[in-house]
Structure 1
Amino acid sequence: MATNASLAKLFAPTGTLRASINLGNPILANADPATGAPFGVSIDLAKAFALRLGVPLELVVMDTAGKSVQAVNEERADFGFFAIDPVRGKEIAFTAPYVLIEGCYLVREESPLSTNEEVDQAGRRVAVGLGSAYDLFLTRELKHAEIVRAPSSPTTVATFVEQNLDVAAGVKQQLEADARQRGGLRLLPGHFMVIRQAMGVPKTRGEAAADALRAFVEEMKASGFVAEALARHGIEGAAVAPPG
């Protein structure tokens, strides 16, 4: 079994462990409005992993999932926090998920849509955040509706409103918050996907690194660390994933 010292060399060849953090998913990370410092479940996990390896931590902060993935693919970051997706999996070795999040649809109050199944029809236009898990998933799944990509996940509802689109797709909690703020909007019942949020490392780092990260995630779930982090940051609607 690889030692912490040997793993530290695999994960942090520069001597500092660089974690790619996506601020586009408020369930996992947010920025302090006063200081701009990132905080959240993903930051807590990154700190715990750096402590485990005995190396200093650097947060590589991005505003979208796509940029966060790119940072790891280009090895400008050593690992990151992403929704599992086969497109991303070509370059990144994922752990099992540590958190499960619902992906939902948002419409206007007066919309004729009442179910998720009604969305995929010709003439419907669906807003998604560019490069997000929803973008990747719906690009594969929607056969008739048109996808309109907002610059980022947090701007999805603004794009939906400004361009008079039919549906916005995203994290349930973000959509609920936007609906409360703007008014005149509602979520369709249920969800169109369950997002499996995991940690990931470039496949170029080898199986030992991937296995170590997988074991770390399982330990963090089993010990209650993930559940405690969700509670500490006041996150509702996200569930700790079952053992991998």
Structure 2
Amino acid sequence: MTDSIIQKVREELTKNNTLRVGINASNFLLVSGINSDGSPFGIAPDLGRLFAHELEVTPKFIVFENPGKLADAGLEGAWDIAFVGNEPQRAKDIAFSAPYLEIPVTFLVREDSLIKDLSEIDQVGNRISVMNRSAYDLYLTAKIKHATIVRAKSIDESFEQFIHDDLEVLGGLKPRLESDCEKIPGSRVLDGQITSVKQSAGTLPAHEESANYLHEFIERTKATGVVSNLIKKYNVNGVSVAPPA
């Protein structure tokens, strides 16, 4: 990219030499922890640091407890770029890059469940526990016609809700469900996936030059092995680098 384009992106996105980076802390696969100074680390925060480095500005992380709050805050101009699942509902208000990483979504059922495969989920009487306004909640809301979606405030609470309310199905990211499966004797994670959460970077639609640059940045991080190296660095299992756009 030319210096003039980078300067234009700086003018669109930054103020006082600072880039505000929105991070969804609820995705444990992409946010591995918090440093002593309060800044997050993991795949998504590290990509934010790399982008800020390209612009020669300082990243300031704005951390949200769930993706819904992150998306809402974008409407108020609370961040300059953000890392969050790319879903059609969010794309109305966020100019997304192509995905940099994909996470499969499936379901967990109990040992005595008669459900054998994904095609049997959407039936009357099945209650599906999910995290409210997660990418997979948005997907299921658009697709589920007969089963009932029961929402909880967080991933942990969706698990507790599944247990305590004796719900039939727990929906979520496959790596997390495989971990949850170990806590429930005899439970099963269904084979395959209903969709994948496509993790992307985004900015406000009005920032057209910056959106294009962010897209190009993400494509480079995939092509040069940056994303795959971050997956290895943080020992994140069950995810894959998204294909080239």
Aligned partner of residue 203 in structure 1, secondary structure: coil
Aligned partner of residue 87 in structure 1, secondary structure: helix
Matches within 5 A, 1:92-103: 92-103=94-105
- Equivalent residue, structure 1, for 2:213: 212
Does the 8 A contact of 2:127 with 2:149 survive in 1?
yes
Give the Cα–Cα distance (whole angstroms) in 2 for the partners of residues 72 and 243 of structure 1: 26
Give the Cα–Cα distance (whole angstroms) in 2 for the partners of residues 34 and 209 of structure 1: 31
Q: Tell me which of 66, 70, 73 is aligned to 1:71.
A: 73
How has the CA–CA distance of structure 1 residues 97 and 122 changed in structure 2, closer, same or farther, with 3 Å as cutoff? same
1:219 is displaced (CA, Å) by: 0.7
1:96 is displaced (CA, Å) by: 0.6
Query: TM-score under structure 1 normalisation?
Result: 0.94
Aligned partner of residue 23 in structure 2, secondary structure: strand
Q: Percent identity?
A: 36
- Equivalent residue, structure 2, for 1:185: 187
Superimposed CA distance per residue, residues 126-182 of structure 1 (whole angstroms, 9 cap, x where no aligned partner): 011111011100001000000000102332211111211111111111111122234
Give the Cα–Cα distance (whole angstroms) in 2 for the partners of residues 156 and 228 of structure 1: 31
When structure 1 is superposed on structure 2, of 31-40 and 84-93 the one drifting more is: 31-40
Give the Cα–Cα distance (whole angstroms) in 2 for the partners of residues 179 and 74 of structure 1: 39
Give the Cα–Cα distance (whole angstroms) in 2 for the partners of residues 234 and 98 of structure 1: 17
Q: Which amino acid aligns with 1:192?
A: I
Q: Tell me which of 160, 170, 175 is aligned to 1:168.
A: 170
When structure 1 is superposed on structure 2, of 24-33 and 196-205 the one drifting more is: 24-33
- Equivalent residue, structure 2, for 1:236: 237
Give the Cα–Cα distance (whole angstroms) in 1 for the partners of residues 167 and 23 of structure 2: 30
Aligned length, in residue pairs: 243
Matches within 5 A, 1:22-171: 22-32=24-34, 37-171=39-173
Give the Cα–Cα distance (whole angstroms) in 2 for the partners of residues 208 and 36 of structure 1: 31
Give the Cα–Cα distance (whole angstroms) in 1 for the partners of residues 38 and 183 of structure 2: 22
When structure 1 is superposed on structure 2, of 188-197 and 46-55 the one drifting more is: 188-197
How has the CA–CA distance of structure 1 residues 155 and 211 changed in structure 2, closer, same or farther, with 3 Å as cutoff? same
How has the CA–CA distance of structure 1 residues 24 and 73 changed in structure 2, closer, same or farther, with 3 Å as cutoff? same
Superimposed CA distance per residue, residues 111-140 of structure 1 (whole angstroms, 9 cap, x where no aligned partner): 111101101001110011111011100001
Superimposed CA distance per residue, residues 51-102 of structure 1 (whole angstroms, 9 cap, x where no aligned partner): 0111111111112111122222321011111221111011100111110110
Q: Which amino acid aligns with 2:119?
A: E
Aligned partner of residue 204 in structure 1, secondary structure: coil
When structure 1 is superposed on structure 2, of 150-159 and 74-83 the one drifting more is: 150-159
1:37 is displaced (CA, Å) by: 4.7
Does the 8 A contact of 2:39 with 2:61 survive in 1?
no
Does the 8 A contact of 1:115 with 1:188 survive in 2?
yes
How has the CA–CA distance of structure 1 residues 152 and 74 changed in structure 2, closer, same or farther, with 3 Å as cutoff? same
- Equivalent residue, structure 2, for 1:196: 198
Unaligned runs of 5+ in 2: none
Give the Cα–Cα distance (whole angstroms) in 1 for the partners of residues 18 and 24 of structure 2: 19
Aligned partner of residue 3 in structure 1, secondary structure: helix
1:28 is displaced (CA, Å) by: 1.0
How has the CA–CA distance of structure 1 residues 32 and 109 changed in structure 2, closer, same or farther, with 3 Å as cutoff? farther
Aligned partner of residue 139 in structure 1, secondary structure: helix
Query: Deviation above 4 Å: which 4+ runs of structure 1?
Result: 32-37
Does the 8 A contact of 1:24 with 1:154 survive in 2?
no
Query: TM-score under structure 2 normalisation?
Result: 0.94
